Amino acid sequence: MRLFGHVDRDPDGLGMTGQRARDRLVERLRAEGIRELRVLDVMRRVPRHLFIDEGLESRAYEDTALPIGSGQTISQPYIVARMTEALLEHGTPGRVLEIGTGSGYQAAVLAPLVPKVYSIERIHRLLREARMRLRKLGAANVKARHDDGRLGWPEEAPFDAIIVTAAGERIEPALLDQLGPGGVLVAPVGPPNVQRLVRVRRTPTGDVTEDLGPVSFVPLLGGLA
């Protein structure tokens, strides 16, 4: 696993974007109930301030979603931690599909934890910027593609885990088709203000669906931009 710290613009940990700010965020995530040590450790290392616009850098380690342009947001750190934890809880998945690359932050958090991450984004500008960040950070096991993620990535299926980071009215059937045996899918489902985070686990006796609580995501949209 490669450490991400070497590109930190504030390596001494002073100021709003250094190691101390990340440590404080992780303490907060722990206090809010995140238990998985691998997730906390990765979030201590991935420099979230490199995934948002420079004007908002000083807010990077607040536990809040922030705008990334094109009407989209980088997810709240607690939600990134919770979804990542939910994916890892029943064993480490080998191949993970992410729908909604956005800033690339969630993919960067997954990259040190699993062998391979496939990520799909429908907005080309966001995809291009996310790819650049991931390359700079040395996350070489992330493959990202410009496409409508509702269709999944059939050429690379089946996946051991699928994480959807934009909310649909339902769990896309194509994504369930691409979930392998023993696989786990985590997705926000429902209209704005009443979305729930849902986990589907594919067990030998059938799919088990759990409600992991209320969330607030940007919508899963069709078509490319």
Q: Interacting stretch for ligand SAH, rule CB under 6 A, among 35-43, 85-93, 96-104, 178-186?
A: 96-104
Residue 212 makes CB contacts below 8 A (sequence gap 6+) with 82, 86, 186, 196, 197, 198, 199
Residues 133-152 binding ligand SAH (CB under 6 A) are: 148-150
Residues 158-197 binding ligand SAH (CB under 6 A) are: 165-166
What's the helix, strand, coil split of the chain in %, to 5? 35, 25, 40
Q: How far is the CB of 205 from ligand SAH (least distance, A)?
A: 31
| Counts for the chain of helices (H) and strands (E), in that order | 6, 9
CB 82, CB 188: distance < 8 Å? no
| First vs last C-alpha separation in the chain | 34
User: Does 43 contact ligand SAH by CB under 6 A?
Assistant: no
What angle, 0 to 180 degrees and rounded to 10, lies between the N-to-C axes of helices 37-45 and 77-88? 140
User: Does 100 contact ligand SAH by CB under 6 A?
Assistant: yes
Q: What residue type is assigned to position 102 of the chain?
A: G
> Which single residue is written with the structure tokens 């006796």?
205
Nearer to ligand SAH, 103 or 195 (CB): 103
Among 4, 61, 78, 105, binds ligand SAH (CB under 6 A): 105
Catalytic, 75? Answer: yes
Number of other CB atoms surrounding residue 1 within 10 Å: 10
State yes or no: cis peptide before 192, omega within 30 of 0. Answer: no
Residues 63-92 binding ligand SAH (CB under 6 A) are: 72-75
Nearer to ligand SAH, 193 or 205 (CB): 193
Q: Which of 58, 75, 119, 216 is catalytic?
A: 75
- With CB under 6 A as the rule, give the number of residues binding ligand SAH: 23
User: Does 106 contact ligand SAH by CB under 6 A?
Assistant: yes
Nearer to ligand SAH, 21 or 134 (CB): 134
Read off φ and ψ for residue 3, nearest 5 degrees. Answer: -80, 145
Q: How many angstroms separate the CA atoms of 118 and 98, rounded?
A: 6
Nearer to ligand SAH, 40 or 182 (CB): 40
Nearer to ligand SAH, 21 or 83 (CB): 83
User: Does 103 contact ligand SAH by CB under 6 A?
Assistant: yes
Write out the residues near ligand SAH by the rule CB under 6 A.
72-75, 99-100, 102-103, 105-106, 120-123, 126, 148-150, 165-166, 218, 220-221
Catalytic residues: 75
